[in-house]
């Protein structure tokens, strides 16, 4: 009987260990669920500036991807999770990163998205703490819902918005090449 109990306890801990992925000092789930759709861990990495850890970027999809174009062009539910790893990452700095990222992703031609970009940036007006996480969830055929620590912040309509947003990390000139490679499972 003791062996059965020990085996049962060991299997519970094994399942728990498998259900998470460590990226540097950040632990992320291997599966997430948004509006009834289960997404699996595609990949992730830690962004460092000099030797300081700043944040992790993690991609969750319905199927595994290694091709950035397929992720960007896909009209399936998927998510990017950003985990804050440093108090150097402030909402002001994050907004600057997003502004530059949208500009780079759209080659300076953001006019069709300007109003939606402004609405999106307003979602980041509260302070950020170490261990805060943001989920940028594209819902198939609808647009992007943003969550902070699991609480919904807002919704931005359009697949074109998702394309530009995801291109910040997965485009030809990503915000961080290491995160892009990690998200696609090729930077390990």
| Residue in 46, 126, 30, 115 with CA at minimum distance from that of residue 83 | 46
* C-beta separation of 180 from 170 below 8 A: yes
- Give bridge partners of residue 29 from the DSSP assignment: 20
Distance CA 175, CA 163 (A): 15
Residue 180 above 70 pLDDT? yes
In this prediction the pTM is: 0.87
Per-residue pLDDT, 3: 52
Per-residue confidence at 17, pLDDT binned at 50, 70, 90?
A: very low
Distance CA 46, CA 8 (A): 34
- Tens-place pLDDT, residues 50-90: 777 889 999 999 999 999 999 999 999 999 999 999 888 88
Structure tokens that stand for 175 in this block: 């915000």
* C-beta separation of 21 from 44 below 8 A: yes
CA atoms within 13 A on the CB side of 131: 1
Write down the mean pLDDT value for the chain. Answer: 89
- Per-residue pLDDT averaged across 99-104, rounded? 94
> In terms of DSSP H, where are the helices of 49-138?
68-73, 91-105, 114-122
Q: DSSP letter for 65, please.
A: -
Cβ-in-10-Å burial (0-12, 13-18, 19+) of 89 comes to buried
């Amino acid at each position: 009987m003791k062996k059965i109990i020990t085996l049962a306890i060991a299997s519970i801990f094994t399942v728990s260990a498998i259900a998470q992925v460590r990226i540097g000092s950040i632990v992320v789930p291997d599966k997430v669920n948004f509006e009834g759709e289960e997404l699996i861990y595609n990949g992730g990495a830690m962004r460092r500036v000099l030797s300081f850890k700043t944040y992790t970027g993690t991609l969750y999809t319905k199927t595994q991807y290694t091709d950035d174009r397929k992720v960007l062009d896909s009209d399936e539910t998927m998510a990017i999770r950003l985990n804050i790893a440093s108090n150097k990452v402030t909402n002001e700095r994050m907004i600057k990163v997003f502004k530059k990222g949208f500009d780079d992703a759209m080659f300076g031609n953001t006019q069709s998205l300007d109003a939606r970009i402004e609405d999106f940036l307003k979602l980041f007006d509260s302070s950020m703490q170490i261990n805060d996480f943001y989920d940028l969830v594209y819902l198939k055929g609808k647009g992007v819902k943003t969550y902070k620590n699991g609480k919904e912040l807002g919704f931005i309509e359009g697949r074109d918005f998702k394309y530009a947003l995801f291109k910040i990390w997965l485009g030809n000139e990503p915000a961080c090449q290491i995160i892009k490679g990690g998200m696609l499972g090729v930077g390990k």
